[in-house]
Copies of this chain bind each other. A is one copy, B any other.
Amino acid sequence: MYVTLPTEHTAAVTATAPLSKTCLSFPETRLKTGSYLYYEGDNVDWLYQVTSGVVRLTRLLSNGRRQVISFGFPGDIVGFPSAGDHHTDCDALVDTRLRPYRRKCLESSTCDAPLHRALLQAALREISAMQDHFMMLGRKSAAEKVASFLNVMSERVGDDMGVHTRFALPMSRSDIADFLGLTTETVSRTLTQLRKSKIIEIENIHTIVVLRPTALLGLCLGEGD
């Protein structure tokens, strides 16, 4: 999951259906909270489609700085290889199930052509979503970043409750910070501000209710000027 621009209605709510029925292949992988699916530098044998739970893709810099590259929510594909290797660490934020696909199904259409096409399309969608994320990282204020993040979460995993939307934040404040290029303090302060302006309610640390979706959407684009 990336922070894409709200204008483009990510119409298709990401589906968790199998990408192919031909070579349905392998049983789901189960991953307990905190355990790793792979590490940076590992050889890639499989790609995975998250079917339930949430994973986190991270990249570390020598001096301890960290970037959360993306979160993998149900429907997302994780594990695209570069030169055959993984380029990030991947671990589970909560108990997670993943449907494995052989790497060679991405790289060749011989074993399962529809699957090959689906994985390729997923890779291309990934590129496009990452381009939007660039804009967010490079050109948005802290308030816009946090608002955009909450907005995407609400669209992707929110429970519709009429005007309101409730969703869980399975990740920590520092995960959010490292995802958006901020500090935990700034994330926390920004959430508090959104709460005080009655745009969201912080039901508990890991549960957000969006009270005024339109106001939130406005903040994503930088209206509060």
Contacts and interface: CB of A to CB of B under 8 A. Distances in A.
B69 A131 contact: yes
Given A80-B124, A82-B127, A221-B62, A139 B109 contact: no
A9 interface: no
Contacts of A80: 124, 127-128
Contact of A59 (B61, B108, B131): B131
Contacts of A135: 59, 61, 65, 67
A88 interface: yes
Q: How many copies does the complex hold?
A: 2
Contact of A138 (B5, B81, B180): B180
Contacts of A108: 109, 117
Interface in A103-128: 106-109, 117, 120, 123-128
A62 B61 CA distance: 33
Contacts of A59: 131-132, 134-135
Interface of A: 5, 7, 59, 61-63, 65-67, 69, 80-83, 87-88, 106-109, 117, 120, 123-128, 130-135, 137-139, 178, 180-181, 221-222
